Amino acid sequence: EVQLVESGGGLVQPGRSLRLSCAASGFTFDDYAMHWVRQAPGKGLEWVSGISWNSGSIGYADSVKGRFTISRDNAKNSLYLQMNSLRAEDTALYYCAKDMSDYIWGSYHYWGQGTLVTVSS
């Protein structure tokens, strides 16, 4: 059974940093691209970032480019999102999602339950 478990969320002040993690199990992690998708309270889905199976292709939404960094450790079956210079508008539930492909085509086949990030002073 595919499982994606996010962690690392919490309350953080504007301008500070936070690192999210996603522990994957139930599939061959290094065969698939992975993504972070967020959802602000009461709002729609927003793609944040994606990374191909070997980290060779990485993409970011314009809203986070230059502030967020996605990475993965295939030996540890883990996905990460380093978030710097956080803003109030980054407040959201952050989902980890598995692609159906090894490239970031964006068919999010499986999703975690999300970790909540709240940016507030």
Partner 1 sequence: QSALTQPASVSGSPGQSITISCTGTSSDVGGYNYVSWYQQHPGKAPKLMIYEVSNRPSGVSNRFSGSKSGNTASLTISGLQAEDEADYYCSSYTSSSSLVFGTGTKVTVL
Interface with partner 1: number of residues (CB under 8 A): 26
The verdict on 23 binding partner 1 (CB under 8 A) reads no
How far is residue 118's CA from residue 67's CA, in Å, rounded to a whole number? 16
How far is residue 9's CA from residue 39's CA, in Å, rounded to a whole number? 13
The verdict on 9 binding partner 1 (CB under 8 A) reads no
Q: Which residue is listed with tokens 């883990």?
A: 78
**Of 74, 79, 93, 68, which Cα lies nearest the Cα of 10?**
93
Segment near partner 1 (CB under 8 A), from 8-16, 19-27, 45-53, 73-81?
45-53
Among 57, 73, 87, 89, binds partner 1 (CB under 8 A): 57
The verdict on 35 binding partner 1 (CB under 8 A) reads yes
The verdict on 54 binding partner 1 (CB under 8 A) reads no
The verdict on 92 binding partner 1 (CB under 8 A) reads no
Backbone dihedral region of 26: left (phi > 0), alpha (psi from -120 to 50 degrees) or beta?
left
Give the residue with the Cβ less far from partner 1, 32 or 108. Answer: 108
How far is residue 106's CA from residue 100's CA, in Å, rounded to a whole number? 8
Residues that bind partner 1 (CB under 8 A): 35, 37, 44-47, 50, 57, 59-63, 95, 100, 104-114
